[in-house]
A and B are shown apart, each in its own frame.
Chain A
Amino acid sequence: MCNQNGGNNCFEYVDSQMPRVPLQLVVNGEKVIEFVDPAMTLLNFLRIQLKLFGAKEGCGEGECGACTIIMDGHTVNSCLVLAVEAQDSEITTVEGLSKNGELSILQQEFINNDALQCGFCTPGMLMSARNLLDRHPEPTVEQIKEGIAGNFCRCTGYQSIIDAVISAAKREREELI
């Protein structure tokens, strides 16, 4: 439901002109100190101020999961969190999954299993899958379905994503001992 807010396209961030507040947090292992608009969502902060374009704005209402990030060890919809709420928190976005320019096992398995078509949901899907594997290193199909239930994919039909998570789990258990 767009264009509800007085003709402004709701996908566009509008500066509230409120006094800026200092914000200190850790993003993908790096300390960040910025001044932010208190009306800015965490998603907009990541995209606009930090230029991390991985997390996407799909619905802006916490339905689609395209903006999923990991905050203090838990997946959250960054469109439903104010940037100021992230004070002193540790955040991982999809940009933080790869190490030294090499894709993580999970990302490689998404490619190997064709777990994406248009790719819009993929960053959020990867974050949910990453968090799921951290919680359940040997997930059942049911656990995977529950784990990615908050992430819509309108291309794949999910089966290839589930396959990717299963094979990533297997490889992680074998290779990361």
Chain B
Amino acid sequence: MTAGAPADPRPAAEIGTGTSANSRERILARIRSAVAGAPDAPITRSYRTSPEATDVIGLFAERVADYRAVVHVVDGSEAAATIRAAMARQGAVRLVVPDGLPAEWAPDDPVADDPRLTAAELDAVDGVITGCAVGIAETGTIVLDAGPGQGRRALTLVPDYHLCVVRADQIVAGVPEAVARLDPARPLTWISGPSATSDIELNRVEGVHGPRTLEVVVVR
């Protein structure tokens, strides 16, 4: 379908630095003349920055389950058994385990991402188990920041089953508190339920490209 594209001999960093440099000046000049003399626009932040919630863990579990994810809320001593039971139910044996995941959560036969697994290898495992950086109660969202126990972004994307362990102290009530806790320099993935589409006559179907099953264990 494609004719071969001849390779551009210039290094990619230089592309667009010719005319693009003129465009940069032109665009900036056009902006300056467009807004010249316009008054400054102040910002009022009168919205809630820390929503009141009496039971954040309960609310988080309820909202995650609303997205048709499987949710368990357990005490620390039950976490390992809950993880094992979940894997057995799912029929998942070979799970990718990112560096830094607490040893008691790891399955018996972990698949390490070292050396880095190829996309095809990731496609062949049964699933992945991770921790997370932040949980948001109001929206039922889990945020991964590629930190310890989470690994690079592809690990929670290519395998079809994602088992995520959330510690109670990682859960905040609302979006503003989550944004404040997160580091923008890290690549973030905000996950609210399994992958889904409503593109066909607005019927919601879970799992197009991301994991079709999301299971969450909240450890009190």
Whether chain B is bound by chain A comes out as no
